[in-house]
Chains A and B, each alone.
Chain A
Amino acid sequence: DIQLTQSPSTLSASIGDRVTITCRASQSISNLLAWYQQKPGKAPKLLIYKASTLESGVPSRFSGSGSGADFTLTISSLQPDDFATYYCQEHNDYSMWTFGQGTKVEIK
């Protein structure tokens, strides 16, 4: 099974900051990585798939990059609505799919 490791586990940032979260896979997954945002008590929301394709309706301040085993999610200018937990998910496998352990973005 593919393992995903996110860093950092927690990130403290201020409004307007540029924020970067990384996700490393235990093996190459080409560009088949997705990112989700989850707020307390809510279901996750798909932000990005295939490493860099923005889901419809997601603000353009979110961007993704990477291929192989190393990926990043960047928020260009952090907004109040962005304080949440972010998960990566590999969608390379054909039989089982895994998530990273999550990165919580907190107010500094």
Chain B
Amino acid sequence: QVQLQESGPGLVKPSETLSLTCSVSGDSITNNYWNWIRQPAGKGLEWIGRIHFSGIANHNTSLTTRLIMSVDTSKNQFSLKLTSVTAADTAVYYCARDSGVEVRGVVFDFWGQGTPVIVSS
């Protein structure tokens, strides 16, 4: 069974960088595409970005200038860095898998449990 698990600091100071890692088990990180999605408390879902081990990446256009994503094939993990954070970046952050446009479109079939991140001094 495919499992994803987010990890990282739960508290980040304003203007600093939010860093999260998603560890994947039950699937190779080279097989699919890997996404970050966030959800502010009591609000809806916002897709953040998507990465493939080959380097192909897509970003939410509202976050492009602050977003860095990477893949570590040796650890079967992928990571998110969001720079210059503000209170508006406070949310639960999820990692999720998609199988690619050609397979069944970009739909998120496996998700991590989510990790809360608070931006506050």
Q: Look across to chain A and name the residue whose beta carbon is closest to the beta carbon of B114.
A: A43
Which B residues are CB-close (under 8 A) to A55? 109
**Are B107 and A49 neighbours in the complex by a CB distance under 8 Å?**
yes
Contact partners of B113 in chain A: CB under 8 A: 42-43
A-B contact number at CB 8 A: 57
B residues 94-110 with Cβ under 8 Å of A?
94, 96, 101, 104-109
Which secondary structure dominates where chain B touches chain A?
loop
Query: With A and B bound together, what is the CA distance between A73 and B47 in angstroms?
Result: 21
Count residues of chain A with CB under 8 A from any CB of chain B.
27
Query: What A residues does B94 contact at CB under 8 A?
Result: 43-44
Interface residues of B (CB under 8 A from A): 44-47, 50, 58-61, 94, 96, 101, 104-109, 111-114
